[in-house]
Chains A and B, each alone.
Chain A
Amino acid sequence: MKEFFKKLELPFHVVKRSTIPTWKAMLIRVIAVLAALLLCSVLSIFMINANPIKFLTTMLDGVFGSSRRIWKFAKDLSILLCIALAITPAFKMRFWNIGAEGQTLIGALAAVAVIVYLGDSLPEGVLLLLMLVAAVLIGAIWGGLPAVFKAIWGTNETLFTLMMNYVATGLVSYFLLLWTPSGSSVLGRLDKGHLPIIGHEYLLLIILVLALTALVFVYQKYTKQGYEISVVGESENTAKYIGINVRKVIIRTMLISGAICGFAGFLIVGALDHSVAVTSVGGMGFTAIMVSWLAKFNPLIMIGTSAFITFLDQGAAQITTTFNTDSSFPDMVVGIVLFFIIGCEFFIGYQLKLKSREEKSAAAATAEAAESKGGNE
């Protein structure tokens, strides 16, 4: 086996790039996406008996095929973006918050609790305000708790935030039982606590998230706190050395992260579902990590990455509908595209250099020498 690898001479070197022009990096990414879509289209011929052009037009039709679908696309990308905005400061600080799912869900639960208990006695405006406060507060608590433990006792934030997701899910199940005496555990759409509709029913939500995007961008890039986050993320020791209170930064950042998740939960309840279920967040808390990561934690670029992932999801769903397949093929499509995108980062960071003829013959000579030596032994 060892000898096999010795013989296996690749015709190129892998060299780390020191810099790469922006246009080149973008070109690599575009090529990756196109290559992935090409592969998917070819697969679609064999797996769902669709021609590649129909495959691509179906995806586009699913996302942009009607004005309703375009609005839905904008709305879905906004909600995903909102959660991605929430985790971004934490990730930038190298605090692996994988609890956005739970922080958002518990925010949604708090907002619904306000409707259930106070919906009949308060005017709509006050109710909405209370929902917002409750959702943001509980979200901050859900995010802050693991941060406090991490900052003071050095607990593992990945496990802690992950487990807080399950606690949130459990609480939702519990309250659904409490609120549905029939035992169905289905709360259904509530009549109270609806955000006002301006223009289009999704417009307010989209504007709010865009404003939040700008806010997080400015916060990260131009404020002292944003700077502290980057320093703590780069090196805790450096941060300590220059007099940053690392514990304080960790806790503060996670409070903000959780609060924004809570806000996302409030939006889900107030603007969309008017209800809560264990599936209310539907995995977006995890997908958001992808959105944030692909954009290198830049909120403005995250608009693009969120749009891209939403496009894949909705396009894939349309493929299920149009070709009447089960959902495993569209899931594969999403998987393949993401794999290519993540894979192409390798080619952005590293470069393949073809070996010159001399290098090849030299390598062959070494290999032969090694082999004959091995034979003598």
Chain B
Amino acid sequence: MFKKVLSIILMLAMLSSLALTFTSCGGDDDDFKLGVILLHDEASTYDKNFIEAVERAKTQLGLSNDQVIYKKNIPESALCTEAADDLVDQGCDIIFADSFGHETFLLDSARKHPEVQFCHATGTMAHTAGVANFHNAFASIYEGRYLAGVAAGLKLNEMIADGEITAAQAKMGYVGAFTYAEVISGYTSFYLGAKSVCPTVTMEVQFTGSWYDELLERQAADTLIGRGCKLISQHADSMGAPSICETKGVPNVSYNGSTVSSCPNTFIISSKIDWTPYFVYICNAVKDGNAIDVDWTGTLTNGSVALSEVNTAAAAEGTQTKLDEVKAKLISGEIKVFDTTTFTVGGNPIAADHKADVDTDSAFTPDTDVVDGGAFLESKFRSAPYFDIRIDGITLLNEKF
């Protein structure tokens, strides 16, 4: 029976493919096309952030619906290569993939199609792969985290001033996904931001070993609150941590977008990467025939590193004013997030010739001098974060994940 069905289907397919060939001969005025490969769909805050950015870029550039093709729920496997190849067949000029694990599979497709540009968010290999049409991008999100940390520090200061806690009790909790540079760089900059205004602050980090696990994130936040953390932040994609904070009345600094609608009493601020500038940039580059940067870093200046509105119901007074001031100093370079005088490792500042693993190799050997002018230069030698130092003041409750 199924073979019969199959043969009918095959017959229909041949007919329809004929019909499609005819219809697709119509041709657009502008035949530029962007293909977007997503790990999940709108249900994940991570992918939603990309979809929204593409839609904004689409409006800004005046692209039609036919000029952007989404491939959703593409796993980090050969299926990613297949999705990319299929997008090439559909005439895409740029193919973008949003997940770290897509990289090697996207690179495989890029090698096969040198005439198409491949752009990959959060990856690390473009600057060493030597494949001219393959590009990485990230943002200096550590600056956004630092600013969010300042808002957190101000909140702690307010709690100390109100006599709710003592200066020694100023402890924050952080829910992280993996002990991976992107997460370490994120929580460290957050901590340093808080410390810049609240010098006695300490922090505990609990890892979940997953980018998206609502229950685990919720439990991790609950554990941290139980251990006496007065404020929670997270680097994971679900509502787990923010929602438990709202239930327990603990202030929360969010990530990837405002959670104020679900957490009106505890949400302070959120930092996020806005990918719109990058999408506009790559589309314009290809349309104008310009080369795309091998490794593009979005910044506070070009609007890639963005902060949500401050929720005055939960944030300390004067937060916005202070943030504007610090932001201006970050942009001017007066404040450096990883200023080596502001943190220590085992009681000592890090060495002036400290090396980090920038060029990816299988052994992950530290290969590049990253300290210059009294600061660890994050996102300078490649866009994806490589700050992976465990600094004093931050306790990791479960070290390896």
Binding site for B on A (CB under 8 A): 25-26, 29-30, 33, 56-57, 60-61, 63-66, 68-69, 72, 173, 177, 180-186, 188-189, 272-275, 277, 279-280, 282, 294-295, 301, 303-305, 307-308, 311, 317, 320-321, 324, 326-327
Instruction: Flag if B2 contacts A308 (CB, 8 Å).
Output: yes
Kindly state the separation between the CA atoms of A56 and B12 in the bound complex, as whole angstroms: 10
A326 to B40, CA, bound (A): 9
Contact (Cβ within 8 A) A33 B5: yes
Residue with the greatest number of chain A CB neighbours at <10 A, chosen from B6, B9, B85, B179: B9
Pick from B15-23, B231-239, B254-262 the stretch touching chain A: B15-23
With both chains docked as a complex, state the minimum distance between the C-beta of A172 and any C-beta of chain B, in angstroms.
12
Q: Mark B37-57, 1 if CB is under 8 A from A, else 0.
A: 000011100000000000000
Partner of B180, one of A25, A33, A182: A182
Least CB distance from A20 to B in Å reads 12
The answer for the CA separation of A277 and B77 in the assembled complex, in Å, is 8
A-B contact pairs, 10 of them (CB 8 A): A25-B1, A60-B17, A64-B14, A173-B209, A181-B363, A184-B180, A188-B104, A275-B104, A303-B3, A304-B3
CB of B249 within 8 Å of the partner chain: no
Assess whether A317 is in contact with B78, with CB atoms less than 8 Å apart.
no
| Cβ distance A276 to chain B, nearest Cβ, rounded Å | 9
Q: Which residues of A contact B108 (CB under 8 A)?
A: 189
Whole-angstrom distance between the Cβ of A181 and the nearest chain B Cβ: 5
- Chain B residues engaging chain A, CB cutoff 8 angstroms: 1-6, 9-10, 12-14, 16-17, 19-20, 41-43, 65, 69-73, 75-78, 82, 85-86, 89, 100-101, 103-105, 107-108, 178-181, 209, 357, 360, 363-364, 388, 400-401
**How many residue pairs between the two chains, A and B, have CB atoms under 8 Å in the bound complex?**
129
- Given A177-B401, A304-B5, A327-B41, are A183 and B77 neighbors across the interface (CB < 8 Å)? no
**A274 and B107 alpha carbons, distance in the complex (Å):** 14
Pick from A33, A183, A272, A311: contact of B181, CB below 8 A: A183
> In the complex, are the beta carbons of B72 and A184 less than 8 A apart?
no
CA–CA, A12 and B178, complex, Å: 62
Q: A304-B3, A324-B70, A326-B43 are in contact. Are A273 and B13 (CB under 8 A)?
A: no
Q: Complex Cα distance A57/B19, Å?
A: 9
Q: Is the CB of A308 within 8 A of B5?
A: yes
A295 CA to B17 CA, complexed, in Å: 29
| A273 close to B77 (CB less than 8 A) | yes
Instruction: Say whether B9 contacts A301, CB under 8 Å.
Output: no
Looking across the interface, which residue of chain A has its beta carbon closest to that of B40? A327
Complex CA distance for A64 and B104, rounded to whole angstroms: 27
Q: Give the distance in Å from the alpha carbon of A303 to the alpha carbon of B181 in the complex.
A: 46
Report the separation of the CA atoms of residues A324 and B13 in the bound assembly, to the nearest whole angstrom.
Answer: 22
A275 CB contacts on chain B under 8 angstroms = 77, 104
Smallest CB-CB A-B distances: 10 pairs: A304-B2, A64-B13, A188-B104, A189-B104, A26-B1, A183-B180, A186-B101, A272-B78, A183-B179, A181-B364
**Are the C-beta atoms of B103 and A320 separated by less than 8 Å?**
no
Shortest beta-carbon distance from A88 to chain B in Å: 16
Q: A286 vs B401: C-alpha distance in the bound complex, in angstroms? A: 28
CB distance B41 to A68 under 8 Å?
no
Residue of B nearest to A120 (CB): B362
Neighbouring B residues of A321 by C-beta, 8 Å: 69-72
CA distance A61 to B77 in the complex (A): 23
Cβ-defined contact, A186 with B76, below 8 A: yes
A183 touches B105 (CB 8 A): no
A305 and B43 contact, Cβ closer than 8 Å, known pairs A72-B82, A317-B73, A321-B71? no
Contact A63 B78 (CB under 8 A): no
**Is B82 within 8 A of A184, CB to CB?**
no
Least Cβ–Cβ distance between A372 and chain B, in angstroms: 51
- Determine if A183 and B101 form an interchain contact, defined as CB atoms under 8 angstroms apart: no
Are A279 and B77 also in contact (CB < 8 A) when A65-B20, A308-B2, A327-B41 are?
yes
Q: How far is the CB of A13 from chain B (nearest CB, A)?
A: 27
**Distance (Å) between the CB of B398 and the closest chain A CB?**
12
Please state if A188 and B103 are interface contacts (CB–CB under 8 Å).
Answer: yes
Cβ-defined contact, B76 with A277, below 8 A: yes
A308-B6 contact, Cβ under 8 Å, with A182-B180, A185-B178, A277-B75? yes
Given contact pairs A182-B357, A183-B401, A326-B41, A277 touches B101 in the complex (Cβ within 8 A): yes
CA distance A37 to B108 in the complex (A): 37
Chain B contacts for A183, CB-based, 8 A: 178-181, 388, 400-401
* Contact among B20, B82, B89, B401 with A57 in the assembled complex (CB-CB below 8 Å): B20
Contact assessment for A63 and B5 in the assembled complex, using a CB-CB cutoff below 8 Å: no
Specify which chain A residues have a CB less than 8 angstroms from the CB of B101 in the assembled complex. 186, 188, 277
B72 and A320: CB pair below 8 A? yes
Residues in B neighbouring A181, C-beta threshold 8 A:
363-364
Q: Complex formed: what's the CA distance from A222 to B140 in Å?
A: 66
Question: Do the beta carbons of A30 and B43 come within 8 Å of each other?
Answer: no
Contacts of B17 in A (CB 8 A): 60-61, 64-65
- How far, in Å, is B1 (CB) from chain A's closest CB? 4
For the complex, what is the distance from the CA of A63 to the CA of B6, rounded to whole Å?
Answer: 12
Do B85 and A324 touch across chains, with their CB atoms under 8 A apart? no
User: CB < 8 Å: which of B9, B178, B400 contacts A311?
Assistant: B9
- Indicate if the CB atoms of A60 and B1 lie closer than 8 Å: no
Q: Which residue of B5, B13, B178 contacts A30 across the interface (Cβ within 8 Å)?
A: B5
Most chain A Cβ neighbours within 10 Å, of B19, B75, B76, B85:
B76
Bound Cα distance from A33 to B357, whole angstroms: 55
